[in-house]
Amino acid sequence: MSDANLHTVDEEALEPAITAGPEIIRSVARTAPNKPGVYRMLGADGEVLYVGKAKSVKKRIQSYTRLGGHTNRIARMIASTVSMEIVTTASEAEALLLEANLIKKLAPRYNINFRDDKSFPYILISREHAVSRVVKHRGARNRDGEYFGPFASAGAVNRTINALQRAFLLRSCTDSVYESRTRPCLLYQIKRCSGPCTGEISEPDHAQLVSEALDFLSGKSDKVKDHLAILMEHASSALDFEQAAIYRDRISALSHVQGHQGINPHTITEADVFAIAHEGGQFCVQVFFFRAGQNWGNRAFFPRADKSHTEAEVLEAFLAQFYDDKPCPKKVLLSHDVTGRLLLADALTIKSSRKVTVNVPKRGEKLELVAHALSNAREALGRRMAESASQRKLLHAVADTFGLDQPPERIEVYDNSHIQGAHPVGGMIVAGPEGFIKNQYRKFNIKDETIVAGDDYAMMREVMTRRFSRLLKEETANEQSAEGGASGASLRPDLVLIDGGPGQLSAVLGVLNDLGLDDLNVVGIAKGPDRNAGREHFYVHDKSPFMLERRDPVLYYVQRLRDEAHRFAIGSHRVRRKKAIGASPLDEIGGIGARRKRALLHHFGSAKAVARGSVQDLAAVDGISSTLAQTIYEHFHEGQG
């Protein structure tokens, strides 16, 4: 915030006698500003314990100095506080926006958090080319064009784009493909594109199709369908039945996309609907997206919150964090009234630069939409709890099968991928009680050039050495920073699964023994005869190899883990191979950028032809000076007399 001012109070600046949390907070409160702002409570190791906002920071901080009346969660937080930081803002609404941003960024232990590790997809009508194209888009909205969304899933976007192609015949190919076409592509043949690349339709006529698509995505679908119906009638009256059939198919495509979106409200053009359910200490927030009068999907979230919080408190904290990095619609509908509803509306209005209302419907279609979302939230929470119970039972079975002291909280699975030794990559996936933890997956590009092509044992040794050497460094750093206090969460696995038999197991155990990690539980999984799934052999140190019954749930679970590791390793290998294929010897020459590289390849036809060129031939290329031509020549003829 431009008006924000930072106030830092460190424990070293306090009187030596002040050691307890309440005394530290009382000392901070004496000089705290009586203004809107955000405060951070810090622990002994610098960890942010809590981020809060207040209309008056001074009064809010003073409330923590009372000796009683706090929940156990708040009492623990106060006792752990050793310093505080304060940022003042121009208004309480700005404080709310800043608080939400910091909570998502820092994930404090005592705040309500939700993990939003997957961005929402959008439809983009790109204006980066004279002929606009329709594409699916994720990430920062920094491309030139009109964005429509968010959509709840990639599937919802793909279905809508397919319908747009059928109804409006918009181009979807990349600019490079568009420029290189000499005849219409398959999409034109199956009536999914109007063929502007080869002049099958003029640019002004294609622009008219784009305009109709924009109307449809902006909520004017009835207007578009009425216009197409008129055109169909005119074509039919003129006995142009082929053109009339085209208009008929376009109207059918529009009706299809609207008919497959479930609930489509009649009185709401643009809104997000939030409903929260709570059971057994877990919360589920279900979100439905309505844009242009159409249902663009729904998604369930499971915020992390203490059991002492109410549904309204969790929903209020969730809303501010949810819109931290997403555009907000004109209306936000809630299943529960929240204390800061009007403040939230003001904050979203500031963020969106337009009026935003936040309401709890009491009657009519809006109430029906909220009730439908609430029903979905309860169902999603029920499925989540059932899956959690099943997962806990399964992890207990894993512990029994492999002789672990307790069910594993963190399982790491390793696999390697290469083609005849080329572009070798190691992959690590992580799983736990909540399923796959994809933000902790890691790939290892094999760096040791002395490894013989295809030596899986050596590759596994390098992967293990790098992974667990780093683990030991991180654990040492955590212990030093904690200075005797509680250290950060350990990332040491409870179970390590490797794709391979006794040879791979021996290689892994050798590395772990050298690092002093011989207490880790390691299991090798060797594929059965003819690589048949269900006949895997399991290898554990100091135990005889064994197999599991074909219908054993643990076998299915381990197969799923191994398949995910295999998928991740192959994907990482393909990315590395693709980069290597796209690499050029010209990239190694200083002074050769994309433009000069393109000029050389256009002039000579290939990098090999460039290597055979004389200094005079090279200097004849546009943008290549005589000095640079000499540099290029010497690069390819180094060591030659």
- What percentage of the chain carries pLDDT values higher than 70? 83
Cα–Cα distance, 148 to 161 (Å, whole number): 11
- Residue 538's beta-bridge partner residues? 525, 546
- Mean pLDDT in residue range 361-378: 90
Are 79 and 115 a contacting pair, CB within 8 Å?
A: no
Helix (H, G, I), strand (E, B) or coil at 560: helix
Structure confidence at residue 384 as a pLDDT band (50, 70, 90): confident
pLDDT for residue 524 is more than 80: yes
pLDDT band of 570, cuts 50, 70, 90: confident
What pLDDT shows up at residue 6?
55
Per-residue confidence at 36, pLDDT binned at 50, 70, 90? very high
Q: How far apart are CA 517 and CA 601, in angstroms?
A: 53
Q: Which two tokens stand for residue 280?
A: 């057994």
Q: Which pLDDT band holds residue 19 (cuts at 50, 70, 90)? A: very low
- Place 550 in a pLDDT band, splitting at 50, 70 and 90: confident
Residue 222: pLDDT band (50, 70, 90) is: low
480 is written with which tokens?
Answer: 């030093």
For the chain, first and last CA: distance in Å?
65
Confidence of residue 345 (pLDDT cuts 50, 70, 90): very high
Contact 131, 178 (CB under 8 A): yes
| Strand (E) or helix (H) holding 89 | none
Spatial separation of the C-alpha atoms in residues 219 and 15, rounded to whole Å: 64
| Residues 88, 32 contacting (CB under 8 angstroms) | no
The per-residue pLDDT for range 474-497, each reduced to its tens digit, is 877 766 555 444 444 458 899 999
- Per-residue pLDDT, 262: 47
Residues whose CB is less than 8 angstroms from the CB of residue 336 and which lie 6 or more positions away in sequence, other chains included: 276, 311, 312, 315, 360
Confidence (pLDDT) at 173 = 86
Whole-model pTM: value is 0.61
Output the pLDDT for position 533: 61
Q: How far apart are CA 176 and CA 198, in angstroms?
A: 14
Query: Which fold would CATH assign to domain 411-483+491-580?
Result: Nucleotidyltransferase; domain 5 (3.30.420)
CA gap 54, 482 in Å, rounded: 30
Rounded Cα distance between 315 and 488, Å, is 28
* Rounded percentage of the chain residues whose pLDDT exceeds 90: 17
CATH of 271-289+296-383, one of 1.20.1300, 3.30.420, 1.10.3470, 3.40.50: 3.30.420
pLDDT of residue 223: 66
Tell whether omega for the bond before 303 is within 30 degrees of 0, i.e. cis: no
Lowest mean pLDDT: which of 300-304, 525-529, 589-593, 635-639? 635-639
CA angle, corner 388, sides to 384 and 393, nearest 5?
A: 150
Query: How many residues in the chain?
Result: 641
The angle that helices 241-259 and 154-168 make with each other, rounded to 10 degrees, is 160
Pure H helices in 107-189: 154-168, 175-180, 186-189
pLDDT value at residue 486:
41
pLDDT tens, position by position, 437-464: 888 898 888 777 666 666 788 888 888 9
Chain centre to alpha carbon of residue 276: 23
The predicted model gives 527-536 an average pLDDT of: 65
What SS3 string covers 261-296? CCCCCCCCCCEEEEEEEEECCEEEEEEEEEECCEEE
Q: What is the mean pLDDT of residues 282-290?
A: 90
For residues 282-301, average pLDDT: 85
CA distances from 433 to 169, 560, 599 (A): 46, 14, 55
Whether the per-residue pLDDT at 38 is higher than 90: the answer is yes
**pLDDT computed for residue 2 by the predictor:** 44
Q: In the structure, what pLDDT confidence band is assigned to residue 14 with cuts at 50, 70 and 90?
A: very low
pLDDT exceeds cutoff 60 at 141: yes
Cα distances (Å, whole numbers) of residue 414 to 444, 512, 529, 595, 639 = 10, 14, 21, 41, 43
Query: Quick one: average pLDDT of 310-323?
Result: 89
Compute the mean pLDDT over every residue in the chain, rounded to the nearest whole number: 81
pLDDT at 261 over 60: no
Question: Where is average pLDDT lowest: 4-8, 33-37, 354-358, 518-522?
Answer: 4-8
Q: What is the pLDDT of residue 37?
A: 92
* Residue 106 near residue 87 (C-beta atoms within 8 A): no
pLDDT of residue 39: 93
Task: For residue 530, name the pLDDT band (cuts at 50, 70, 90).
Answer: low
- pLDDT for residue 479: 62
Q: With 50 as the cut, is the pLDDT of residue 100 above it?
A: yes
Indicate the residue type of 274.
F
d(CA 621, CA 624): 6
How many Cβ atoms from other residues are within 10 Å of residue 306's Cβ? 16
Distance of alpha carbon 141 from alpha carbon 164, whole angstroms = 21
Cβ–Cβ < 8 Å for 352, 328 = yes
Strand partners, 134: 125
User: 136 is written with which tokens?
Assistant: 């699916």
Of 289, 267, 554, 265, residue with least CA distance to 408: 554
State the average pLDDT over residues 73-93. Answer: 89
pLDDT at 9: 47
CATH topology for the 5-106 domain: GIY-YIG endonuclease (3.40.1440)
- pLDDT value at position 265? 66
Residue 509: pLDDT band with limits 50, 70, 90: very high
271-289+296-383 against 411-483+491-580: fold identical: yes
Selected residue with higher pLDDT from 207 and 266: 207
> What pLDDT is stored for residue 260 in this prediction?
46
Tell me the angle at which helices 341-352 and 92-106 cross, rounded to the nearest 10 degrees. Answer: 80
- Fold assignment, 585-636: DNA polymerase; domain 1 (1.10.150)
Tokens found for residue 34: 């009586």
The domain segmentation of the chain, as residue ranges, is 5-106, 122-238, 271-289+296-383, 411-483+491-580, 585-636
Buried-state track 442-473, b at ≥16 Cβ within 10 A, e below 16: bbbebeeeebeeebbbbbbbbbbbbbbeebee
The band of 139, judged by pLDDT with boundaries at 50, 70 and 90, is confident
pLDDT score for 182: 84
Residue 279: φ, ψ to 5°: -160, 135
Give the confidence band of 18 by pLDDT, cuts at 50, 70, 90. very low
Q: Tell me which of 191 and 58 has the higher pLDDT.
A: 58
Instruction: Please answer whether residues 123 and 142 qualify as being in contact, where contact means their C-beta atoms are separated by less than 8 angstroms.
Output: no
Closest CA to 160 of 97, 252, 254: 254
